[in-house]
Amino acid sequence: MGEEADRSLAAVVEERVGSAADRVLRDCVALGAPVPEFVVRAGREPVDQFDSRYVQLTEMLLTQLDPAGVHVDVSVPPDRSSVTVRAAAGRSVEDLCAEFAEVVQQLLVEGELRGAAWPPCPAHAGRHPLWVDRSGDDAVWACAKGPGFSATVGSLAVET
């Protein structure tokens, strides 16, 4: 019973991770940014897609992971720097979405986009980036300079 309960809990968490990651991916595609990769690992199970890239590191990395947790390795091709997010059982889709959006923003700005403002604030002609915030429960991208702009993560579009 215990083993099975763990598996179904992991399935619920993986579903939340999928929904949260989809929202961030939608923004990347809409804005023409490099598209990040989300690799989900339940406990310490091997994940070839990720482990084959870090053969030297994997063994050490695995011993640091919570065997009962779900972890998400977020990376942006082609340079592949990655950040691991711990998806604890109690975290909501909005919570995960907010963290994924922040991680992807950091990876893109420090990597492929070389310091560009991303995502660009539509209210200020892209002169500064939007920041992840919460509006009620929702994960949103917001302009930090007053109530200029706010949009749910996953709903950004290129200004026309």
Footprint on this chain of Zn ion (rule: CB under 5 A): 121, 123-124, 143, 145, 148
- Rounded least distance, CB 3 to Zn ion, Å: 50
DSSP H helices in 31-92: 48-51, 55-63
- Rounded least distance, CB 101 to Zn ion, Å: 16
- Rounded least distance, CB 126 to Zn ion, Å: 9
**What token pair was written down for 57?**
């590191």
- Rounded least distance, CB 105 to Zn ion, Å: 15
Instruction: Name which of 9 and 117 has its Cβ closer to Zn ion.
Output: 117
Instruction: Name which of 36 and 119 has its Cβ closer to Zn ion.
Output: 119
Closest CA to 61 of 44, 75, 38: 44
Instruction: Name which of 60 and 125 has its Cβ closer to Zn ion.
Output: 125
Q: How far apart are the C-alpha atoms of 87 and 9, rounded to whole Å?
A: 12
Instruction: Name which of 72 and 142 has its Cβ closer to Zn ion.
Output: 142
Q: Kindly report the number of other CB atoms within 10 A of residue 152's CB atom.
A: 15
Peptide bond preceding 119: is omega within 30 degrees of 0, i.e. cis?
A: yes
Q: Is 104 exposed, middle or buried (0-12, 13-18, 19+ CB in 10 A)?
A: buried
Instruction: Name which of 86 and 145 has its Cβ closer to Zn ion.
Output: 145
- Rounded least distance, CB 27 to Zn ion, Å: 16
